[in-house]
Protein backbone atom coordinates (compact mmCIF):
# COMPACT_ATOMS: atom_id res chain seq x y z
CA UNK A 1 0.00 0.00 0.00
CA UNK A 2 0.93 3.63 -0.38
CA UNK A 3 0.18 6.51 2.00
CA UNK A 4 -2.89 8.66 1.58
CA UNK A 5 -2.33 12.03 -0.06
CA UNK A 6 -0.58 14.59 2.14
CA UNK A 7 1.21 17.93 1.93
CA UNK A 8 4.89 18.20 2.80
CA UNK A 9 6.54 21.12 4.61
CA UNK A 10 10.22 21.41 5.47
CA UNK A 11 10.26 23.41 8.69
CA UNK A 12 13.02 25.99 9.12
CA UNK A 13 12.46 26.53 12.84
CA UNK A 14 10.45 25.22 15.77
CA UNK A 15 8.10 28.19 15.43
CA UNK A 16 7.58 27.35 11.76
CA UNK A 17 6.90 23.69 12.56
CA UNK A 18 4.23 24.36 15.19
CA UNK A 19 2.65 27.03 12.98
CA UNK A 20 2.14 24.40 10.28
CA UNK A 21 0.87 21.85 12.81
CA UNK A 22 -1.72 24.35 14.00
CA UNK A 23 -3.28 24.40 10.53
CA UNK A 24 -4.46 20.80 10.31
CA UNK A 25 -4.02 17.14 11.14
CA UNK A 26 -0.24 17.07 10.80
CA UNK A 27 2.56 14.73 11.85
CA UNK A 28 6.19 15.55 12.63
CA UNK A 29 8.83 13.72 10.57
CA UNK A 30 12.15 13.24 12.37
CA UNK A 31 13.45 9.70 11.79
CA UNK A 32 10.25 8.27 10.34
CA UNK A 33 11.05 4.68 11.28
CA UNK A 34 7.61 4.15 12.82
CA UNK A 35 5.65 6.92 11.12
CA UNK A 36 6.32 5.97 7.51
CA UNK A 37 5.27 2.28 7.82
CA UNK A 38 2.08 3.41 9.60
CA UNK A 39 1.39 5.86 6.78
CA UNK A 40 2.04 3.19 4.16
CA UNK A 41 -0.53 0.92 5.83
CA UNK A 42 -2.85 3.93 6.22
CA UNK A 43 -3.03 3.47 9.96
CA UNK A 44 -2.40 7.22 10.14
CA UNK A 45 -3.40 9.71 7.45
CA UNK A 46 -1.86 13.11 8.19
CA UNK A 47 -2.96 16.03 6.07
CA UNK A 48 0.54 17.48 6.26
CA UNK A 49 3.98 16.05 7.05
CA UNK A 50 6.25 18.52 8.86
CA UNK A 51 9.91 17.64 8.30
CA UNK A 52 12.04 19.00 11.17
CA UNK A 53 15.38 17.60 9.99
CA UNK A 54 16.70 21.01 8.88
CA UNK A 55 15.97 22.78 12.17
CA UNK A 56 19.35 23.64 13.74
CA UNK A 57 20.58 22.50 17.16
CA UNK A 58 18.03 19.72 17.68
CA UNK A 59 20.63 16.99 17.07
CA UNK A 60 22.60 17.54 20.28
CA UNK A 61 23.05 15.80 23.61
CA UNK A 62 23.95 18.35 26.27
CA UNK A 63 24.62 18.38 29.99
CA UNK A 64 22.03 20.57 31.72
CA UNK A 65 22.43 20.84 35.50
CA UNK A 66 21.62 17.34 36.85
CA UNK A 67 20.24 15.96 33.58
CA UNK A 68 21.17 15.08 30.03
CA UNK A 69 19.08 16.82 27.38
CA UNK A 70 18.46 14.90 24.16
CA UNK A 71 17.22 17.05 21.29
CA UNK A 72 14.44 15.98 18.96
CA UNK A 73 16.88 14.94 16.21
CA UNK A 74 19.25 12.86 18.36
CA UNK A 75 19.40 9.48 16.61
CA UNK A 76 19.51 6.14 18.39
CA UNK A 77 23.04 5.59 17.14
CA UNK A 78 24.13 8.96 18.57
CA UNK A 79 22.66 8.01 21.94
CA UNK A 80 24.41 4.64 21.85
CA UNK A 81 27.80 6.16 21.07
CA UNK A 82 27.72 9.43 23.01
CA UNK A 83 30.42 9.87 25.66
CA UNK A 84 28.14 11.87 27.98
CA UNK A 85 25.55 9.09 27.97
CA UNK A 86 28.17 6.42 28.66
CA UNK A 87 29.66 8.43 31.52
CA UNK A 88 26.56 9.80 33.23
CA UNK A 89 23.75 7.33 32.42
CA UNK A 90 25.35 3.91 31.78
CA UNK A 91 22.00 2.12 32.06
CA UNK A 92 20.81 4.01 28.96
CA UNK A 93 24.08 3.22 27.20
CA UNK A 94 23.48 -0.47 27.96
CA UNK A 95 19.86 -0.37 26.84
CA UNK A 96 20.67 1.16 23.45
CA UNK A 97 22.49 -2.03 22.41
CA UNK A 98 19.09 -3.73 22.24
CA UNK A 99 17.37 -1.13 20.04
CA UNK A 100 16.30 -2.50 16.65
CA UNK A 101 18.94 -2.87 13.92
CA UNK A 102 21.68 -0.66 12.49
CA UNK A 103 19.62 0.87 9.70
CA UNK A 104 16.85 1.80 12.14
CA UNK A 105 19.33 3.18 14.70
CA UNK A 106 20.91 5.38 12.03
CA UNK A 107 17.64 7.25 11.40
CA UNK A 108 15.30 6.68 14.34
CA UNK A 109 15.30 9.30 17.09
CA UNK A 110 15.05 9.01 20.86
CA UNK A 111 12.35 11.68 21.16
CA UNK A 112 10.44 10.20 18.23
CA UNK A 113 10.32 6.83 19.95
CA UNK A 114 9.06 8.44 23.16
CA UNK A 115 6.34 10.21 21.16
CA UNK A 116 5.41 6.98 19.35
CA UNK A 117 4.95 5.36 22.80
CA UNK A 118 5.23 1.76 21.69
CA UNK A 119 4.79 -0.38 24.83
CA UNK A 120 7.61 -2.69 23.70
CA UNK A 121 10.16 0.04 22.88
CA UNK A 122 13.13 0.86 25.09
CA UNK A 123 13.05 4.68 24.99
CA UNK A 124 9.69 5.28 26.74
CA UNK A 125 10.69 2.86 29.50
CA UNK A 126 14.09 4.49 29.98
CA UNK A 127 12.45 7.93 30.11
CA UNK A 128 10.19 6.69 32.92
CA UNK A 129 13.06 5.05 34.77
CA UNK A 130 15.17 8.22 34.60
CA UNK A 131 12.39 10.56 35.75
CA UNK A 132 12.35 12.13 32.31
CA UNK A 133 10.89 15.53 31.47
CA UNK A 134 9.38 16.11 28.03
CA UNK A 135 9.86 19.59 26.54
CA UNK A 136 7.00 20.59 24.26
CA UNK A 137 6.51 23.52 21.88
CA UNK A 138 3.24 24.83 20.45
CA UNK A 139 1.88 28.10 19.01
CA UNK A 140 1.00 29.01 22.63
CA UNK A 141 4.62 28.70 23.80
CA UNK A 142 6.55 25.98 25.59
CA UNK A 143 5.74 23.60 28.42
CA UNK A 144 7.41 20.71 30.23
CA UNK A 145 5.72 17.50 31.32
CA UNK A 146 6.92 14.54 33.42
CA UNK A 147 7.17 11.29 31.49
CA UNK A 148 4.68 9.63 33.86
CA UNK A 149 2.02 12.09 32.65
CA UNK A 150 3.13 12.17 29.01
CA UNK A 151 2.79 8.41 28.34
CA UNK A 152 -0.91 7.63 28.50
CA UNK A 153 -1.27 4.27 26.72
CA UNK A 154 -0.30 2.12 23.76
CA UNK A 155 0.80 4.50 20.97
CA UNK A 156 -0.83 7.32 22.94
CA UNK A 157 0.58 10.40 24.67
CA UNK A 158 -0.65 13.69 26.13
CA UNK A 159 0.73 15.60 23.12
CA UNK A 160 -1.80 17.92 21.49
CA UNK A 161 -2.19 17.97 17.67
CA UNK A 162 -0.47 21.36 17.34
CA UNK A 163 2.46 20.45 19.62
CA UNK A 164 5.87 18.92 19.00
CA UNK A 165 8.50 17.55 21.37
CA UNK A 166 11.73 19.51 21.17
CA UNK A 167 13.81 17.61 23.75
CA UNK A 168 13.75 15.09 26.57
CA UNK A 169 15.66 15.60 29.83
CA UNK A 170 16.87 12.47 31.63
CA UNK A 171 17.90 12.80 35.28
CA UNK A 172 21.48 11.72 35.95
CA UNK A 173 21.64 9.06 38.70
CA UNK A 174 23.76 9.79 41.76
CA UNK A 175 27.39 8.70 41.83
CA UNK A 176 27.73 5.06 42.81
CA UNK A 177 24.30 4.07 41.51
CA UNK A 178 24.10 0.45 40.43
CA UNK A 179 22.20 -0.34 37.26
CA UNK A 180 20.98 -3.25 35.18
CA UNK A 181 19.05 -3.73 31.96
CA UNK A 182 17.63 -7.13 31.01
CA UNK A 183 15.64 -7.82 27.87
CA UNK A 184 14.36 -10.95 26.16
CA UNK A 185 13.28 -11.10 22.52
CA UNK A 186 13.06 -13.88 19.97
CA UNK A 187 15.90 -12.36 17.95
CA UNK A 188 18.30 -9.53 18.69
CA UNK A 189 16.73 -6.27 17.57
CA UNK A 190 13.15 -7.56 17.66
CA UNK A 191 10.61 -5.99 19.99
CA UNK A 192 11.00 -7.33 23.51
CA UNK A 193 8.65 -9.91 24.97
CA UNK A 194 9.64 -8.31 28.28
CA UNK A 195 12.40 -6.08 29.57
CA UNK A 196 13.29 -4.59 32.93
CA UNK A 197 15.63 -1.82 34.03
CA UNK A 198 16.79 -1.19 37.60
CA UNK A 199 18.66 1.55 39.44
CA UNK A 200 19.70 1.49 43.10
CA UNK A 201 22.34 2.71 45.52
CA UNK A 202 23.92 1.07 48.57
CA UNK A 203 23.92 2.88 51.89
CA UNK A 204 25.23 1.04 54.96
CA UNK A 205 24.74 -2.28 53.17
CA UNK A 206 21.11 -1.62 52.27
CA UNK A 207 19.21 -0.71 49.14
CA UNK A 208 18.27 2.92 48.66
CA UNK A 209 16.69 4.98 45.86
CA UNK A 210 15.46 1.85 44.09
CA UNK A 211 13.85 2.36 40.68
CA UNK A 212 12.29 -0.40 38.57
CA UNK A 213 10.76 0.01 35.12
CA UNK A 214 9.44 -2.59 32.70
CA UNK A 215 8.12 -2.80 29.16
CA UNK A 216 6.47 -5.38 26.93
CA UNK A 217 3.99 -6.54 29.57
CA UNK A 218 1.28 -3.84 29.43
CA UNK A 219 -0.20 -1.16 27.18
CA UNK A 220 2.55 1.22 28.18
CA UNK A 221 5.91 1.17 29.95
CA UNK A 222 5.55 0.92 33.74
CA UNK A 223 7.27 2.04 36.93
CA UNK A 224 6.69 -0.11 40.01
CA UNK A 225 6.67 2.40 42.84
CA UNK A 226 5.11 0.01 45.37
CA UNK A 227 7.80 -2.60 44.74
CA UNK A 228 10.47 0.11 44.89
CA UNK A 229 9.16 1.27 48.27
CA UNK A 230 9.10 -2.30 49.59
CA UNK A 231 12.80 -2.72 48.75
CA UNK A 232 13.88 0.58 50.29
CA UNK A 233 16.19 -0.05 53.23
CA UNK A 234 16.30 -3.82 52.71
CA UNK A 235 19.50 -5.84 52.43
CA UNK A 236 20.40 -6.88 48.92
CA UNK A 237 19.85 -10.61 49.33
CA UNK A 238 18.42 -13.25 47.00
CA UNK A 239 15.42 -13.51 49.32
CA UNK A 240 14.72 -9.79 48.93
CA UNK A 241 15.01 -10.04 45.16
CA UNK A 242 12.72 -13.10 45.05
CA UNK A 243 10.11 -11.32 47.14
CA UNK A 244 10.29 -8.23 44.91
CA UNK A 245 9.93 -10.32 41.76
CA UNK A 246 6.87 -12.05 43.19
CA UNK A 247 5.30 -8.70 44.11
CA UNK A 248 6.04 -7.40 40.63
CA UNK A 249 4.42 -10.43 38.99
CA UNK A 250 1.30 -9.84 41.09
CA UNK A 251 1.11 -6.22 39.87
CA UNK A 252 1.01 -6.95 36.15
CA UNK A 253 -1.66 -8.22 33.79
CA UNK A 254 0.14 -9.13 30.56
CA UNK A 255 -1.72 -9.78 27.33
CA UNK A 256 -1.47 -12.95 25.27
CA UNK A 257 -0.56 -12.58 21.60
CA UNK A 258 1.13 -14.50 18.80
CA UNK A 259 4.54 -14.08 20.44
CA UNK A 260 3.81 -15.18 24.01
CA UNK A 261 1.03 -16.08 26.42
CA UNK A 262 0.19 -13.91 29.41
CA UNK A 263 1.49 -16.60 31.78
CA UNK A 264 4.79 -16.80 29.93
CA UNK A 265 5.23 -13.02 30.01
CA UNK A 266 4.47 -12.95 33.74
CA UNK A 267 7.05 -15.69 34.38
CA UNK A 268 9.58 -13.90 32.17
CA UNK A 269 9.01 -10.60 33.98
CA UNK A 270 9.81 -12.22 37.32
CA UNK A 271 12.93 -13.96 36.04
CA UNK A 272 14.29 -10.78 34.43
CA UNK A 273 13.50 -8.73 37.53
CA UNK A 274 15.42 -11.11 39.83
CA UNK A 275 18.42 -11.01 37.52
CA UNK A 276 18.35 -7.23 37.12
CA UNK A 277 17.98 -6.52 40.84
CA UNK A 278 20.94 -8.75 41.67
CA UNK A 279 23.05 -7.20 38.93
CA UNK A 280 22.24 -3.63 39.97
CA UNK A 281 23.07 -4.49 43.60
CA UNK A 282 26.44 -5.91 42.54
CA UNK A 283 27.20 -2.78 40.52
CA UNK A 284 26.20 -0.34 43.26
CA UNK A 285 29.07 1.21 45.19
CA UNK A 286 28.80 1.78 48.93
CA UNK A 287 28.27 5.49 49.49
CA UNK A 288 28.39 5.49 53.29
CA UNK A 289 29.57 3.05 55.93
CA UNK A 290 31.50 -0.12 55.13
CA UNK A 291 33.38 -0.56 51.87
CA UNK A 292 31.55 -2.13 48.97
- The pLDDT value recorded for residue 288 is 61
- The pLDDT value recorded for residue 246 is 98
- The pLDDT value recorded for residue 291 is 41
- The pLDDT value recorded for residue 103 is 87
Angle at 269 between CA 264 and CA 275, to 5 degrees: 125
Q: Are 252 and 269 in contact (CB under 8 A)?
A: yes
Would you call 222 helix, strand, or coil by DSSP?
A: strand
Q: What angle, 0 to 180 degrees and rounded to 10, lies between the N-to-C axes of helices 262-283 and 238-251?
A: 140
- The pLDDT value recorded for residue 121 is 93
What is the distance between the alpha carbons of residues 177 and 287, in angstroms, rounded to a whole number?
A: 9
Listing DSSP states for 68-132 in one string gives EEEETT-BHHHHHH-HHHHHH-HHHHHHGGGSS-HHHHHH-BHHHHHHHT-TT-HHHHHHHHTT-
What is the distance between the alpha carbons of residues 236 and 285, in angstroms, rounded to a whole number?
A: 12
- The pLDDT value recorded for residue 39 is 96
- The pLDDT value recorded for residue 218 is 94
Mean pLDDT per 10-residue interval, the chain, length 292 residues: 94 97 93 95 96 98 95 97 97 94 91 96 97 98 98 96 97 97 87 94 96 96 97 97 98 91 96 98 79 40
DSSP state of 286: B
Q: Are strands 206-215 and 164-171 parallel, antiparallel or unpaired?
A: unpaired
pTM: predicted TM-score of the whole model, two decimal places: 0.95
Amino acid sequence: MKPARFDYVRAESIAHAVEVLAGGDGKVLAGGQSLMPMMNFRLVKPSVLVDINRIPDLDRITLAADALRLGALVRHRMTAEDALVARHIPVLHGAMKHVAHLTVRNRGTFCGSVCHADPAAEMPMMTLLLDGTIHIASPRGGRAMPARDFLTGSLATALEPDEMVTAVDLAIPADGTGWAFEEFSRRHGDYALAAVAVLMTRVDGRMRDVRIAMMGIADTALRFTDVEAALEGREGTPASFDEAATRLQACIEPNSDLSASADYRRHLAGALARRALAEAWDRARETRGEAA
